[in-house]
Amino acid sequence: MPCVIKPVTGCWGTMNKHAKIYVAGHRGLVGSALVRALTTKGYSRLVTRTRQELDLTEQAAVEHFFKTERPDVVIDAAARVGGIHANSAYPAEFIRDNLSMQTHLVDSAYRSGVKKFVFLGSSCIYPKHAPQPLKEDYLLTGPLEPTNEWYAVAKIAGIKLCQAYRRQYGFDAISLMPTNLYGSGDNFSLENSHVLPALIRKFHEAKWAGAKSVTVWGTGTPRREFLHVDDLAEAVVFLMENYSAEDIINVGVGEDISIRELAETIREIVGFEGDLVFDPEKPDGTPRKLLDVSKLHSLGWRARIPLRQGIEETYRWFLAHQNEFRR
């Protein structure tokens, strides 16, 4: 049975800067931020694989990778992700691919002797009408939001998989639930991105086209919490080093904003002078999604990047890379 890491002491000891860390999904928004954060903090033995080099949906390939590389730590940032449209259009891919990737990673990591496993879930795991802010205890207490239930069910299964391997085998797997993320390296596709990057692109293109208005899905009334991905990466490294328990832990800022307020902020930052039009025929999704981050704060970590500053930085990145981002 692999030894269980404790935050300060244990059979493996404190987190070692020479630990071999595999970041699954290192090219994505979260994975690339994790590589930056780990490198900055002095972790020099990082292992990465592109999707072409290692297909995480293929069990044999994943098993071979772990037998060959033998990482000490795994951070699972690999997932099929997208906004309301993508979740609704591709439900089979969202549940199938996420279930297979996380199952192969957890099982192979345990069997190869990995000492710490960090699973990244999502705030969409919580019931659609759960009380706000969302406490970790609200998991599985009510129906999910239908527009992203396929992704949410897969992520809930990942949480339970980590808890089961901890209970039965003593495997030190922790599960972190980030809120809505944004930042450098985001997906700005108008078809399958999340709301914040999609709005940046919409307003930018409308500005340069001289459009008179921009249409936003829904009523504009839902409220969302947004965490800069660099803040998330800092939190993940902090919890990797300091947290070891079965209980899931929320990662967010503890503040939210309406979609209308978000759109108005982005319109101002981009410099679009036309009108905002909301399309109530399109789905709003969950009315409000704000995480209770009191547990994270009690451990000594808080987000540091204000939303407006983060959006400004993200827009500058978009301008510099607009010919490269995924469509």
**Distance between alpha carbon 250 and the CA centroid of its chain, in Å?**
11
Question: Does the active-site annotation cover 138?
Answer: no
Distance between CA atoms of 3 and 1, rounded to whole angstroms? 6
Residue-wise DSSP of 61-95: HHHHHHHHH--SEEEE-------HHHHHH-HHHHH
Q: Please work out, in degrees rounded to the nearest 5, the angle formed at the alpha carbon of residue 267 by the alpha carbons of 266 and 268.
A: 90
Number of helices followed by number of strands (H, E) in the chain: 10, 13
Distance between CA atoms of 108 and 91, rounded to whole angstroms? 26
3-state secondary structure of 220: coil
CB atoms within 10 A of CB 58: 14
Judge contact between 115 and 72, C-beta under 8 A. Answer: yes
List, for residues 42-53, the tens digit of each pLDDT value: 999 999 999 999
Residues within the annotated binding site for NADP(+)? 25-31, 120-123, 155, 178-181, 194
pLDDT of residue 325: 54
Residues within the annotated binding site? 25-31, 120-123, 155, 178-181, 194, 202, 217, 224, 284
Which helix or strand (DSSP H or E) is residue 215 part of?
Answer: strand 213-217
**Could you say which residues of the chain have pLDDT below 70?**
1-14, 83, 192, 325-327
Question: 154: Cβ–Cβ under 8 A, 6 or more apart, which residues?
Answer: 94, 95, 98, 99, 102
Instruction: For residue 34, give Cα distances in angstroms to 45, 183, 207, 211, 233.
Output: 13, 12, 33, 38, 5
Distance between CA atoms of 181 and 100, rounded to whole angstroms? 23
Question: 152: Cβ–Cβ under 8 A, 6 or more apart, which residues?
Answer: 122, 124, 125, 144, 145
Q: For residue 152, give both structure tokens.
A: 């949410």
Residues within the annotated binding site for substrate? 202, 217, 224, 284
The active-site residue out of 110, 126, 151, 182 is 151
**Domains of the chain as residue ranges with CATH:** 21-186+225-255+289-306 (3.40.50.720)
**Exposed e or buried b for every residue in 259-292, given b needs 16+ CB within 10 A?**
bbebbebbbebbebeeeeebeeeebbbbebbbbb
What letter does residue 139 receive in the DSSP assignment? T
